[in-house]
Structure formats: C-alpha cells, structure tokens
Structure 1
Amino acid sequence: MDGSSSTSPDTPQRVTATQAACDLIDEIRRDHPQILFHQSGGCCDGSSPMCYPADDFKLGERDVKLGEVNGVPVYISGSQFEAWKHTQLILDVVPGRGGMFSLDNGRERRFLTRSRVFTDEEMAALG
C-alpha cells in the first residue's frame, strides 16, 4: 500500500526530516547503503522510527509507504497509518541510544518522530 500521493508541489509530504536526521541517515548509509525506516507502533522501542538494512526487513502486505526522506523509504503499518493519516511525521534526532535492532543504536544519537496535524486544506490536497 502506498500512502504517498501525487508529486504535485501543492500536495503536502506525509513524512519529512530535519537536517540532523538527514545527517545521521548519511552517516548510517556509509556503513549500510540501502536502508529503510519503519515507524514502530509500540512495544519494546515505543514509537521510535526504526532504521533497518533494506534487505533485512520484510515489509508486510498492509505496510504503507509514507514517502522518502533523504532518498530513504519510510513505511508504517496499515493500522498505524489509519491512526496517524491526519498528521505529517517529521524524523528528527535527539541524544540517546536507538532501538535495539535499529541502525542508529550505538551512535549516541537516535531517531525520533515528531508530528504535526495537517490543515484542512492539506487534508483535502492529500485526498
């Protein structure tokens, strides 16, 4: 499933990233050129965006592609997408340890998802 919409400049992005997140992505890609993000729905690592080698993560048939940040695809489970479809997810970085299986672990910085609610106009543009 693909939650991203047309590439019209008027269509808001469902996922974006701060410069700090892009910098950490670049660092990780030096070790692991092909990666992806999956927005966790809870459990052990809370709601952290998890970063995996693309070949090591099996996407589910209900996973939704939100878009790409810094050339890296970002996915979320279908049920999480339904709960969060009214928000833009913003990947950011804060000090700390990443999720146990996430590639940001051990780098003393970790990815964090921030969000903002889409405006009525943005929701209409998303369809």
Structure 2
Amino acid sequence: MVKRLDSTEKAKALIQELKTQHGELMFYQAGGCCEGTQPQCFQKGGFYVRMNDILLGTIADCEFWVDKDLFEYWKFSHFTLDVLDGFGVGGFSLETPLGKTFKIHYRLFTEEELNNLEPITTAK
C-alpha cells in the first residue's frame, strides 16, 4: 500500500523535540483563512477535528488530520511534511516559539500509486 503522507528527517527531529516539551502531538491542516494551508501542530486533543475530516496518516506516531474540503482538492497528491526556519502563518502551532514552521510539499501520485493507496479514515 502506498502511503499518502511522509516527512523529512528534519521534520521528524522537530517533532521529537516538541514531544519532549509537550507530550503526545497531533497535526491538523485546514484550508482556512488565518492559518492558510500550513500544517498546525498541537498537543494531542488540543484541536478538535470536525465531522468528515480526514486522517491522512501518521508521522512519528502523531495523527495528521486534513480538512475534508482540502482533502478533496489534494486527494490525488502525496504530502511530505517538512520544516523551515521562520514564522509561519497564524502562529498557533507549537513550533512557532522555536522560530520554525511546518510546511507541506505536494506531488501528484502516479497512476500506479493511485491504484494502491492506503485507505483513509474519516472523523465521525
């Protein structure tokens, strides 16, 4: 099965640092106004997913949820979580005080990958 989500080693290292400070984590990526489409990192349970939001996968045992409308737009794309130096849009994410921001790189799945994608989970 082809995963819909992956991450860079740099992102995994920051996640481990944030886990040390904050405990279990989760990610949420919306298509809204304030946060743009930046992935946001929260303490697990610190953000309530909405009905029909999509669990895209996990990174370092952290759930990565996506807004249902954003998923419809990007459902044919692979997500790679990365991290950059700088202040991201919104500033609510746990990495912000460290002068970092999570970012997603997208690429389209090949036809072969599309035929073998991991199933998604929908919030209820």
Length-normalised TM-score, structure 2 = 0.89
Structure 1 residue 32: Cα displacement = 1.2
Query: Using the alignment, how far apart are the partners of 2:103 and 2:27 within structure 1?
Result: 11
SS at match of 1:43: coil
SS at match of 2:18: helix
Aligned residues: 117
Residues 1-127 of structure 1: pairs in structure 2 closer than 5 A: 11-98=1-88, 99-126=90-117
Query: Using the alignment, how far apart are the partners of 2:66 and 2:78 within structure 1?
Result: 12
Overall identity of the aligned pairs, in % = 34
Q: Which runs of 4+ in 1 moved over 3 A?
A: none
Could you list the runs of 5+ residues in structure 2 that have no partner in the other structure? 120-124
Query: Using the alignment, how far apart are the partners of 1:55 and 1:94 within structure 2?
Result: 25
SS at match of 1:122: helix
Bigger mean CA offset, 100-109 vs 82-91: 100-109
The one-letter amino acid of 1:125's match is N
Could you list the runs of 5+ residues in structure 1 that have no partner in the other structure? 1-10
Structure 1 residue 54: Cα displacement = 1.2
Q: 1:63–1:78: 8 Å Cα contact kept in structure 2?
A: yes
- Compute the RMSD of aligned alpha carbons: 1.2
SS at match of 2:92: coil
SS at match of 1:82: helix
The one-letter amino acid of 2:12's match is C
SS at match of 2:82: strand
